[in-house]
Amino acid sequence: MPKGLKEKKEPAKGELLRELAALREKMAALEETHSSSTKELTELRHVVDAYQSVGQAYLNIDRKGMILDVNNPFLSISGHARDEVVGKNIFEFNSTENDAHLPKLVISTLARKGHWQGEMFAVRKNGDSFPVWLNVRPDKKRGGKVVTYSAIVLDITALKENQKHLEQMAHYDLLTNLPNRTLMYDRLNHTISLAKRHEYQIAVLLLDLDRFKEVNDSLGHHIGDLLLVETAARLIETVRESDTVARMGGDEFLIILPEVGSTNNAANVAQKIIEYLAKPFFLEEHEIYVSGSVGITIFPIDGDDPDLLIKHSDTAMYHAKAQGKNNYKFFTEDIN
């Protein structure tokens, strides 16, 4: 959980737990001594019931994790009825997505430190797993030893979905949903590291669409965007699942071919790309023809780092354009 969110929630939870614990202790004392009037005891129960309806999901558990009480928000997020959870161990609602040692870790940490908090997965009644932030604190002590704990359960599904969306925006092109330049560099670095370790070749292909500017200017950005999306789909069809197709920006795409085997294999992929792009694009009422120019570099022959490989593939791509477009060229020192 982001630090800011935790710090924002923590004071409210701490105050809630302290007040709730104090009320429970007072109720217990009143019931044990029978020194209180029925009216006072009833009023205290009403206050505790009010806490039961707060927005945060709450459980009261013993030292072994047995659930003694829950509030309505917990029942709401879990989908269970009260009698389906009270009397059961909190880890009966533990998801298989968690580490198998998590229950022992939580119990041992509570015994050692008196509190535990962290992210885990819980299971709803319908079997769905969902992420939660669990904060367990001492609730009631007897003879200097903790007897019960209060556990606040925050459903962080929305937070996780938002984080996933932000990660998607940071690493993927919003138009084509291909890896963007940032993720491409990460993957190319990783691929180079593996290639160095296992001593195999990588091919890096840089594609630039021929006539894209003409289409974009004459038919508008909407059709231009559709052309880029369809181009991305065709590129994915030409490569293996282990290969990477990324959008560099504009009408440029980069393809990473790990374990390419030979330059002939790289040439075959480039030729297949050119043939796929030569087929007509049917975008709304338009039938559009474009082509592609591809520059190819080979690791480690043409460079051993991402920047150099991309630079050399760019040089080769422009050489392909200068040779009439709609073709591919390998990088060589004489065209550098």
| Residue-level pLDDT at 5 | 39
The number of distinct structural domains making up the chain is 2
| Residue-level pLDDT at 144 | 72
Which residue range forms the structural domain that includes residue 21? 3-161
Distance, in Å, from the CA atom of 257 to the CA atom of 237, rounded to the nearest integer, reads: 14
- Is 166 contained in some domain? no
Single out the residue in 161, 189, 215 at which a domain terminates.
161
Q: Judge if 131 and 245 occupy the same domain.
A: no
Confirm whether 251 is a catalytic residue: yes
Q: Judge if 190 and 157 occupy the same domain.
A: no
| Residue-level pLDDT at 68 | 92
Single out the residue in 134, 161, 188 at which a domain terminates.
161
Q: Which of 155, 173, 251, 314 is catalytic?
A: 251
CATH code for the domain in which residue 153 is found: 3.30.450.20
| Residue-level pLDDT at 318 | 96
Q: Judge if 134 and 232 occupy the same domain.
A: no
CB 27 within 8 A of CB 48: yes
| Residue-level pLDDT at 27 | 58
CB 256 within 8 A of CB 186: no
In this prediction the pTM is: 0.66
CATH code for the domain in which residue 260 is found: 3.30.70.270
CB 267 within 8 A of CB 173: no
Tokens of 308: 């150099």
- Is 167 contained in some domain? no
Which residues in 180-214 are b (16+ Cβ under 10 Å) and which e? Answer: bbebbbebbeebbeebeeeeebbbbbbbbbbbbee
Mean pLDDT per 10-residue section of the chain, whose length is 336 residues: 41 58 60 49 47 69 89 92 93 88 89 90 93 88 79 90 88 96 97 96 98 94 97 97 96 97 95 96 96 97 95 97 95 86
CB 225 within 8 A of CB 177: no
Distance, in Å, from the CA atom of 123 to the CA atom of 331, rounded to the nearest integer, reads: 55
Single out the residue in 161, 188, 204 at which a domain terminates.
161
CB 313 within 8 A of CB 298: no
